[in-house]
Structure 1
Amino acid sequence: MSDSFPLLPALLAMSALAAGTFLLRLAGPALRAKVAFPKQAEKLLEVSAVVLLAALTATAALTQGEGFAGAARALGVLVGGVLAWRGAPFLAVVIAAAGTAALLRLIGIP
């Protein structure tokens, strides 16, 4: 190993990050019984999680780099989303979404 990348500081940093992550994850269940949110705040947190997931899905489905990813990807994600919503098995959802995008690209739709 070269001297340009010291191993000990890297191991210490990784250990500190691992410990911090563990403690942060442990704080949720430990503090849940002691901290009470109003019902309206709990409902808002539930809705915000769904909105965040929808925004991430839309971003991944519609963009590539700094531009539009093309209709094939968007339609593939739409097909997968509808199948998932209807309760199809995960493998069928993935295959149908990928197959839709592949077929659309095969016929010339970007």
Structure 2
Amino acid sequence: MTLWAGILVAAALCLALKGMGYLVPASVLEAPRPARITDLLAVGLLAALVGVQTFGDGQAIVIDARLPAILVAAGLLWLRQSFLVVVVAAAATAALLRLAGLAA
């Protein structure tokens, strides 16, 4: 199988899976347990994405300026600051650490 054939098969499978989602009755999706599972699944996937983007560099685990930036962001979120303040403070933390040469 060539690369493009594999891509087309994967795209067709994704489209079929999405189409099957429309066949599930609304009563099943609105039940308390599936609703709670989908809410928690979104949180888990977002946490995994943050972890991979923070500590991953290819196949290696890297600790650099991103870790203190994430800690600053987590602290500000815990203090219930606005999202804009959190993003700016985290970016400034990483930038200042890199400028000071303390982190790559």
TM-score norm. by structure 2 comes to: 0.61
Q: Distance in 1 between matches of 2:9 and 2:67?
A: 40
Q: Distance in 2 between matches of 1:21 and 1:48?
A: 19
Gapped regions of structure 1 (runs ≥ 5): 1-5
Aligned ranges for residues 1-110 of structure 1 at < 5 Å?
Answer: 9-28=2-21, 30-33=22-25, 36-37=28-29, 38-64=31-57, 65-70=59-64, 72-80=65-73, 82=76, 86-89=81-84, 93=87, 96-110=89-103
Alpha-carbon RMSD across the aligned residues, in angstroms, is 3.3
Identity rate of aligned residues, in percent? 30
- Determine which structure has more spread, i.e. the larger CA radius of gyration: 1
Which 4+ stretches in 1 moved above 6 angstroms? none
Q: Distance in 1 between matches of 2:24 and 2:62?
A: 42
TM-score norm. by structure 1 comes to: 0.59
Gapped regions of structure 2 (runs ≥ 5): none
What is the total number of aligned residue pairs between the two structures?
98
Q: Which amino acid aligns with 1:58?
A: G
Distance change (3 Å), C-alpha of 1:66 and 1:13: closer
